[in-house]
Amino acid sequence: MCKKLFVIKIIISLFLFSQAFAKENRSGINVYTGMFDFSDDGKRASFYGIEHQNENLYRETFFGNISPVTGGLITADKATYVYTGVEANYDLGLLNITPSFTPGLYRQGDGKDLGHPIEFKSEVQLSLDLGDTTNLGMSYNHVSNASLGKKNPGANSYLFNFLKKF
C-alpha cells in the first residue's frame, strides 16, 4: 500500500508543478485501463493509470501541435511506471490521433523485469470526440529500456482511455 501511496504522491506533485506554469486552468485528465504486456503469457497483467495534459503548454511545431504529458500507472502485479514526456495532437474532425513519447522510471514490484529502472514508452492513441470536453479512445504502447540494461524484453500494452478536459 505504501508504494501505491508514493506513486499517487508523485503524480499529484507533477500535476501541481505543471499547473504552476499555466496561465489558465484548462487541463485534461486521462484515466485509462488495459492489459500490460499482453504479448507475454507469463507476465501479462491488468493495469490502470492516470495522465495529466495541459493545453496552455501546447506549442505549434513542424511536427504538429505538441504538448507535455505526465502520468503514472500501476499493474495488478504492483509494477509501477511514472513518466513525463511529449505528445503530438492531430485533430481529424471527430477523431484524434495522439502519438507520444514518455521517458520514465519503472519499478518491477511482482511484475515483469524490464531490465532497467529507466524505460521509454512510445504510444499511439486513437480517440473519438464526445463533446468539447470529453474523449473516449484506445491506445497501444511499447515500453523499452533502449538496451540500457543487460536485458531489454520490452512490454506491449493496449489500453482504453477516457479524457476529460476542465
Report domain extents, the chain: 2-17+28-165
Question: Is the separation of the CB atoms in 120 and 100 below 8 Å?
Answer: no
Q: Does position 71 have pLDDT exceeding 80, yes or no?
A: yes
Of the ranges 45-49, 65-69, 80-84, 108-112, which one carries the lowest mean pLDDT score?
A: 65-69
Question: Cβ(161)–Cβ(138) under 8 Å?
Answer: yes
State how far the alpha carbon of 150 is from the alpha carbons of 32, 93, 114, 119, 147, in Å: 31, 45, 10, 13, 7
pLDDT in tens, 102-112: 999 999 999 99
Going by pLDDT thresholds of 50, 70 and 90, the confidence category of residue 81 is: very high
d(CA 140, CA 123) in angstroms, rounded, equals 6
More confident residue, 9 or 93: 93
Report yes or no on whether pTM surpasses 0.85: no
Phi, psi for residue 16 in degrees, rounded to 5:
-65, -40
At 132, list the grid cell: 468539447
2-17+28-165 CATH fold: Porin (2.40.160)
Q: Please, which pLDDT band fits residue 3 given cuts at 50, 70 and 90?
A: low
d(CA 71, CA 80): 11
**Kind plus residue range of the DSSP H or E element containing 150:** none
Phi/psi at 118 (5° precision): -90, 120
**Could you tell me the three cell numbers for 127?**
480517440
pLDDT of residue 43 exceeding 60: yes
- In three-state secondary structure terms, 40 is coil
Sequence-separated (6 or more) residues with CB below 8 Å from residue 23:
56
Q: What is the pLDDT confidence band of residue 48, given thresholds at 50, 70 and 90?
A: very high
Q: What is the mean pLDDT of residues 84-94?
A: 91
The pLDDT of residue 142 is above 80: yes
pLDDT of residue 11: 57
CB 160 within 8 A of CB 40: no
In the prediction, which pLDDT does 158 show? 97
Please give the pLDDT value at position 103: 97
* 140 pLDDT higher than 90: yes
